[in-house]
Amino acid sequence: MEPNPYASSGAAPAAESQSGVKWRFPAIHPEGRKFGAIAIGITLLFWVLGWKPLAWLMAGVSIWVFAFFRDPVRATPQGQDLLVAPADGLITLIQRVPPPREIAGEEGIGSGLMTRVSIFMSVFDVHINRTPISGTVRQVVYISGKFINADLDKASEDNERQHIVVERADGLRIGFTQIAGLVARRIVPFVKPGDVVAAGQRIGLIRFGSRVDIYLPEGTAPRVTLGQRTVAGETVIAKLGESEAVSGIFQ
């Protein structure tokens, strides 16, 4: 994670903030380089064999593979009570549900009903996931399962998934779940219990289409609406203790 030169003093001066930020080409995460190399190898093999149409098709697949594993830099809003989006994608579900049994109870995120915000990632979205808050990773629980469409409600209970619980210094715990989708076949963690993470820090990825659920504690309403797109590490999902939900319109 790159340091923020204005973290200690608040917002950057207007002139510096306008001239100091430049677009950069997203890096490719190391996890994706081997897949890209395989796709390029197949492309070259088809070309050498004279199968030009297939070679051009695989060239397009190669570009898509590298794009899938892109890992852009994100500017994470700073604030003690802000929860930032753990994933890029489309908000498809906002529901009141009990927490997953694997991370429920006193040692987890509690047992009462919570607001679950589900973010669906298509195969065209960035698939690097990030932690919504700063703190210490208390739980990383992997559960094997099915590979049904991650856009469906029952994917939260049926699909391959991984729960992560992060605890702030004041004891508040936030849980979120990486869920494999119809095409996804592996969830790759970057963290383990005991690791200290900063809000917006990379914590893992899911290969090839999936979903991430975040569970908001009692008394906290989402600042996002159904149909809204989120940017991992940047979009503010909620502010802790803020109970007034927002609404939106399609236009």
Burial 27-48 (b: 16+ CB within 10 A, else e): ebbebbeebbeebbebbeebee
Annotated active-site residue 62? The verdict is no
Which residues are CB-contacts of 117 (< 8 A; sequence separation ≥ 6)?
91, 93, 94, 213, 214, 216, 222, 224, 237, 238
- Of the listed 9, 62, 210, 247, which one is catalytic? 210
Q: Contact at 8 Å (CB) between 43 and 59?
A: yes
60-67 CB contacts, 8 Å cutoff, 24+ apart: 62/36, 64/123, 65/32, 65/35, 65/36, 65/39, 66/28, 66/32, 66/36, 67/124
The DSSP bridge partners found for residue 143 are 161
* Spatial separation of the C-alpha atoms in residues 179 and 143, rounded to whole Å: 10
* Spatial separation of the C-alpha atoms in residues 125 and 152, rounded to whole Å: 18
| Positions marked active-site | 210
